[in-house]
Structure 1
Amino acid sequence: MTISVRQVKAARALLGWSQADLAKASAVSYPTIARLESDDGAGPIGGRQDTVDKITKALQDAGVEFTNGGQPGVRLRGVG
């Protein structure tokens, strides 16, 4: 799955998570989360694939669904 920096930020916002919260939940260092999020583009999140996978899994485990296709976004499971 390919996700964007904007989707990660939106997912954190839905959960009320800080970058530190995401770092703890994903077992990815805080500096890595901050560096990845410093690129505010709509393109795919950069970094090693295993790091992206850890971030994606942590957010999904917390209830986030990533919507892709024509209108990429995020939502909480069971909402909408």
Structure 2
Amino acid sequence: MARAGLNLGVRELAELAQVSTNTITRLERGESLYPRTVEAIRAALEAAGVEFIAENGGGAGVRLRREKGAPVA
């Protein structure tokens, strides 16, 4: 969801996270990865504007960071 929200392709995210495209595909299929690899992908998504939301009874999720000065809908 985070990658789609940013309108990033697999190749673009792989480049940002400095991992292979196969690694992004494996993550999206739910396969296990090394924790440091998951952290690199998470850091790349956060740098691109994604906020990860902790589980609060409704499940974990993501949202796009609102730009400063943007009106609240």
TM-score normalised to structure 2 length: 0.79
Q: Percent identity among equivalent residues?
A: 44
SS state of the match for residue 56, structure 1? Answer: helix
Q: Distance in 1 between matches of 2:60 and 2:33?
A: 19
Q: 1:32 aligns with which of 18, 23, 38?
A: 23
Given the alignment of the two structures, is residue 75 of structure 1 paired with residue 63 of structure 2, yes or no?
yes
- Taking the aligned partners of 1:73 and 1:37, their CA distance within structure 2 comes to 14
* Displacement of 1:48: 0.2
Question: Hey, which of these two has a bigger chunk of helix by percent?
Answer: 1
Q: Match of 1:16, SS?
A: coil
The normalised TM-score by structure 1 is: 0.73
Q: Which has the larger radius of gyration?
A: 2
Higher RCO (CA 8 Å, separation ≥ 6 residues): 1
> Structure 1: which amino acid aligns with 2:60?
P
1:20-61 deviation digits (Å, cap 9, x = unpaired): 11101000111111122123xxxxx72101100000000000
What does 1:8-19 align with in structure 2 at a 5 Å threshold?
Answer: 10-19=1-10
Q: Does 1:60 align with 2:46?
A: yes
- Secondary structure (helix, strand or coil) at the match of 1:33 reads helix
